[in-house]
Amino acid sequence: MTDIDVRLREEVHLLGELLGTTIRDQHGAAFLDKIELIRKGAKAGRRGAADGTEQLSASLDGLSEDELLPVARAFNQFLNLANIAEQYHRVRRRSPGEAEPFENHVLPQLLQRLIAQGHSADALARQVGRLEIELVLTAHPTEVARRTLIQKYDAIAAELARQDHSDLSAAEREQITQRLQRLIAEAWHTEEIRRVRPTPVDEAKWGFAVIEHSLWQALPAVLRKADQALHAVTGLHLPLEAAPIRFASWMGGDRDGNPNVTAAVTREVLLLARWMAADLYLRDVDHLAADLSMQQASAELQALAGDSAEPYRQVLKSLRERLRATRQWAQQALHTPLEPSAAVLQNNQELLAPLQACYHSLHACGMGVIAEGALLDCLRRAATFGLFLVRLDVRQDATRHAAALSEITEYLGLGRYADWDEARRLSFLQAELDSRRPLLPSHFKPAADTAEVLATCREVAAAPAASLGSYVISMAGAASDVLAVQLLLKEAGLQRPMRVVPLFETLADLDNAGPVIERLLELPGYRARLHGPQEVMIGYSDSAKDAGTTAAAWAQYRAQETLVEVCRAHQVELLLFHGRGGTVGRGGGPAHAAILSQPPGSVAGRFRTTEQGEMIRFKFGLPDIAEQNLNLYLAAVLEATLLPPPAPEPAWRTLMDRLADDGVQAYRAVVREHPQFVEYFRQATPEQELGRLPLGSRPAKRREGGVESLRAIPWIFAWTQTRLMLPAWLGWETALSNALARGEGEQLAQMCAQWPFFRTRIDMLEMVLAKADAQIAEQYDERLVEPALQPLGAHLRGLLSQAVTCVLGLTGQSQLLAHNRETLESISVRNTYLDPLHLLQAELLARSRQQSSPAGSALEQALLVSVAGIAAGLRNTG
């Protein structure tokens, strides 16, 4: 055990002790003893002691009705506190001589390596300055913690940082402990579960809060260190206007299957972003006006300031007045349509220009050391976040556009658009896009769904271009899907280019992505409307749900390769947008490894990806953690651009084709073809109950029906709760077993060693198998599943065991994650607190289904708390 582990364990122990004190104060010593008995039973059970498992079961069985909720809350809170300690542990102060985390030095080391390999200083500096990385924050409903609790957890992390000094006095340490005790008590006495679902506007405010409390501090710190690293190896600096990392959002723009996201909601979110941006810049400018009291200035700045003895303050005060006018207008416009006055900032250059004038004047007058402080940070923020904070994407399903156009064509007496073949659709759409007349008369009165589609397009047309990102089309499958949106936007009055992005999600659509884009690029007039790169979104969640991760991963890889070739042949730049989730089953995993495993040429200085649900908090919730993750993105995209991975050998492709074919057949044989599967899924997992959990604003289902109607997130979430983790590995066990039986083990090992794509897939598979637990899954079956369906559960656990055997054989290890003791230890520590929650959840599910407990009852609250606790313990849940 290293000193690092000791420090982490000490912090976890301290937080656990303080939580115990809080629980004892409310429920008494006898109840706390029960909690400890349950914990010890779980720990002994994990070590293989039969009496420990019996003690755990007996302790849980002996709980009275009024003890169920506080027991669930106790283990849930402990897992959240363990997360805080582990998160802080990654960014804690290092002792002299102690190695820095990989994330802190990954970029400087990469830059040194690139120079050593012959990249010129000028070219390298230009490439870093031109990087375009956009992280798209989404409100997918896997963030189970309430915002009020997240704020308390952040405050606990801050106290851990304060105590991380060896020279604190005894009194100072005691003060920190007391503050920790109060914060933990506040968290304990706060409800974990929201009473009502958040609205899309609530979700957007949550996203803005992540920027305000973390990314606003982290972004300039990352760029400052990147600039220092770049200067150290090239002698050059990042340009002031460089914004290698930007942020976009789906919160308030993603209406795919979410009737709660309306045109009015999108308008409100855009205005709230304007308000928040102005408010944040006002805080910066207030501080700068206080600091920049100098008198000496360049002629250019003096001309801006007029006859002022304090020219910097004068210029900044003028900017402050415009920011106030902008904030006030955005506030008023939320309630009534209001044209902005001349004082309202409309263009980002209006924000940047006075700041740049101050910066250049300070340098010109020998005060560069002052310019490189808070003023530079403000400039970096202005270049990155702009006046609109984040660029809002709009997303809608292709069928909604087709339905709207069907109503329009029928009204015009042209027939039904939805019934036309692709050639006729394209002919109609191209003619209308080229036409100078409106498509619709002003008196056209559409049905509600069509009216909403048209209203959304009008909001897009009315919004400033810089406030919007892309218009994403879910379930796109043809060139006409893109032109349909372009026509609807034209009809709404859009007179500027906007990226209209097809999202290819199913296995068939991924295979067809290249031909669709080729058809688009060949259409007369399409290239003229493009104005920039051709953006294409690759769907990870639904492709994995459709075909399993074996076939989906290979289809995603091949689709990207084809798209690179198509766009290169047409001399069009390509921007790939990766729709990843938090879990392996939804394309998740370590970002650095994932980027470096993309096909060569697919990351050409540009990278766009979703950051979803609870992963936003884990990766960007604290400034120091956010810095580390932003460093990883910078380094990985730069490396993938300048040192792309090798293309796979022909033999590897052939084997990967066989793996994918075997994987999809095995996956669909269970999920789609087994007659008992849907009923087993609903009995063995909390899928039905998850629909009652007020996580996000979006419904859990797109429509009524079986597994195919479920969104990818609850599909993954349900299996994660029972620890079977089925969607992340099902299909691999058959694919790998068949390959080994054919004598292809040596080739698989070669692919692992030499092909980053395959190695990353196996690494992620190993991670999810380490978190899976057949014994836990079996206990759910025993309590919840009728006897006739239990053999299916046993069969699935057998497949899980087969997957583990294959991966161990491939990696040559005797234990999963044997090469990563830190992660293994983290999972092991959490299991002691997860095991009681799993057993308790199975019991609560059984009681809930027998009693039909009403909403808001103690039983339902305990059940929902158990869901939240397991999600916290396993981290990437959805």
- Provide the annotated active-site residues: 140, 545
Give yes or no for a contact between 810 and 762, defined as CB atoms under 8 angstroms apart.
yes
Beta strand residue intervals within 100-142, DSSP E = 132-138
Which amino acid, residue 461? A
- CA 587 – CA 581 distance, rounded (Å): 6
Which residues have CB under 8 Å from 530's CB, separation 6+? 497, 572
Among 871, 714, 734, which residue's Cα sits nearest to residue 800? 734
Helix (H), strand (E), coil (C) string for 449-483: HHHHHHHHHHHHHHCCHHHEEEEEEECCCCHHHHH
How would you write 696-726 as a 3-class SS string?
CCCCCECCCCCHHHECHHHHHHHHHHCCCCH
SS3 499: strand
- Say how far apart CA 78 and CA 169 lie, in whole Å: 28
DSSP SS3 for 535 = strand
Pairing of strands 245-249, 391-397: parallel
What's the CA gap between 418 and 409, in Å, rounded? 9
**Dist CA 614 CA 592 (whole Å):** 19
Q: What's the rounded Cα separation, in Å, for the pair 758 and 746?
A: 14
Integer Cα distance of 199 and 272 in angstroms: 14
Neighbouring CB atoms inside 10 A of 181's CB total 17
What is the spatial distance between Cα 699 and Cα 701, in angstroms, rounded to a whole number? Answer: 5
732-741 and 790-811 helices, crossing angle to 10°: 50
Task: Say if CB 571 and CB 583 are below 8 A apart.
Answer: no
Burial of 127 (0-12, 13-18, 19+ CB in 10 A): middle
Task: For residue 324, give Cα distances in angstroms to 77, 209, 336.
Answer: 41, 20, 18
Compute the distance between CA of residue 527 and CA of residue 483 in angstroms, rounded to an integer: 12
DSSP structural state of residue 254 = B
CA dihedral 252→253→257→262, nearest 10 degrees, is 70
Contact partners, residue 852, CB within 8 Å, separation at least 6: none
Q: Which of 240, 246, 241, 234 shows the shortest CA–CA distance to 125?
A: 234
List 397's β-bridge partners, or say none: 474
Q: Which of 365, 359, 369, 363 is nearest to 296 (CA)?
A: 365
